[in-house]
Structure 1
Amino acid sequence: MRSDGTLSLERRRQEREEAKLLVLRKRGSRLAFEWGLQQCVKSVNATPRLLVYLLREVCVLAGRLARGGRV
């Protein structure tokens, strides 16, 4: 937060990303994963929460594949 009480542009961007991720997670894991991956590709400054989410999803998908399930 800046001294005038407003959020920085970077912080507002992060909040928008997190809100979008929450909406997509409710719709379906695959949509959220694809969107998150696109955000990371577009921006080197991906939020830590987004990166943790993507890593968790990769582990889930790898587990499904290891058990012979569908992705």
Structure 2
Amino acid sequence: MEIEVRLFGFETSIQHPIRLQWDDAPRLAEALAMLPISQDVETIVLVNGRTATPDLRLADGDKIAVFPPMTGG
């Protein structure tokens, strides 16, 4: 199965999208652990445009978007 990941607002040399592959359905936390961003950074994560918890089981073709916390004024 293949998952597509896009990182927004992070300084990385990785080209988008990032494609991750598994033999079985991973949890969102497993996919996030494979990304080139610090696990200490808080993030906003969407799966197929909706907020998701780390224990969500991913499905083939899911699209993950990862954002740093946003502020503005």
Structure with more of its chain in helix, by fraction: 1
Structure with more of its chain in strand, by fraction: 2
TM-score scaled to structure 2, two decimals? 0.27
TM-score scaled to structure 1, two decimals? 0.27
| Bigger CA radius of gyration | 1
Higher RCO (C-alpha 8 Å, min separation 6): 2
